[in-house]
Chain A
C-alpha cells in the first residue's frame, strides 16, 4: 500500500516568508509525527498528534512553528517568518497507534531559506 507522502519535496523560500509543508500519513494510522533533520542538530522531534487528543507540541522550537491535523488524516506544518536556521529536512512519520513501535517515515521536505 501507499506509504507516507510529503509535499513539496523541495522548497526554497526567502527569509521572512511563511511556508506550509504537507504530510499524508498511511491510511488508518492514528498517530502522526513531525521531525526535523538538520546538520547541526541531527534528528529532532517537533510535534505529534494522536487521534483526537491534544497534540504534544513540546518539540516546537519557537512560536513561529505550528501544525494542524485535519480530520485525523492530513497534517500541515507551518513556519512563519522563516529564518535561515530553519533550513533543514522536515520528516513526517505515522504509526498505527501511539502504542505501535514502528513509525513509518515519509521522504521528507527539504527546506532552504535564503
Chain B
C-alpha cells in the first residue's frame, strides 16, 4: 500500500540555520503531496502542497518540490526562526478515484534554539 517515510527526529537547529527535512513516498499513480505542521498546543494545519510532478509548494518561507523521479518531497527553509519549532508531517493523498484519506509520515519534531 501507499506509504510515507520521513526523517527521524528530533531535529535541533540554531536560529537562522538552513533546514531540510527529508520525505520520500511509495504510491501508485500520481498522488498529491503535503506538509502539515503541528505547533505546540495547536491543531494540525496544512503548511504547503503540490499536486503534480515538478510543482513547488511554498508558504511562510518553507518550500518543497514534488520529485517523481526520486519519489521525494523534501521540506526546506533558508533561515529558521524560533517560532518554527513544531512537529512536521509529510503526507500524501490519492486522487479522486479512490478514498481521500491522507497517509501521513511519522512526523519530525523540530526545535530551534535562539
A interface with B by C-beta (< 8 Å): 3-4, 31, 33, 35, 42-45, 48, 50, 56, 58-59, 91, 93, 95, 98-99, 101-108
Contacts and interface: CB of A to CB of B under 8 A. Distances in A.
A104 B42 CA distance: 12
A102 B104 CA distance: 14
Given A59-B101, A103-B46, A105-B44, 18 more contacts: A3-B43, A31-B100, A33-B100, A42-B104, A42-B107, A43-B44, A43-B104, A43-B106, A48-B101, A56-B99, A101-B34, A101-B49, A102-B46, A103-B102, A105-B43, A105-B45, A106-B43, A107-B43
Interface string B81-111: 0000000010001001001111111110000
7 contacts: A4-B43, A44-B104, A48-B101, A98-B96, A101-B49, A101-B93, A105-B45
Contacts of B20: none
A99 B99 contact: no
Nearest to B36: A105
Contacts of B100: 31, 33, 48, 50, 95, 98-99
A107 to B, nearest CB: 5
Contacts of A42: 104-107
Indicate the size class of the contact surface on chain B. Answer: 20 to 34
B58 interface: no
Contacts of A44: 104
A107 B46 contact: no
Q: Which of B43, B46, B49, B107: most chain A Cβ within 10 A?
A: B43
Contact of B101 (A4, A56, A101, A108): A56
B106 to A, nearest CB: 4
Contacts of A33: 100-102
B22 interface: no
Contacts of A101: 32, 34, 49, 51, 93
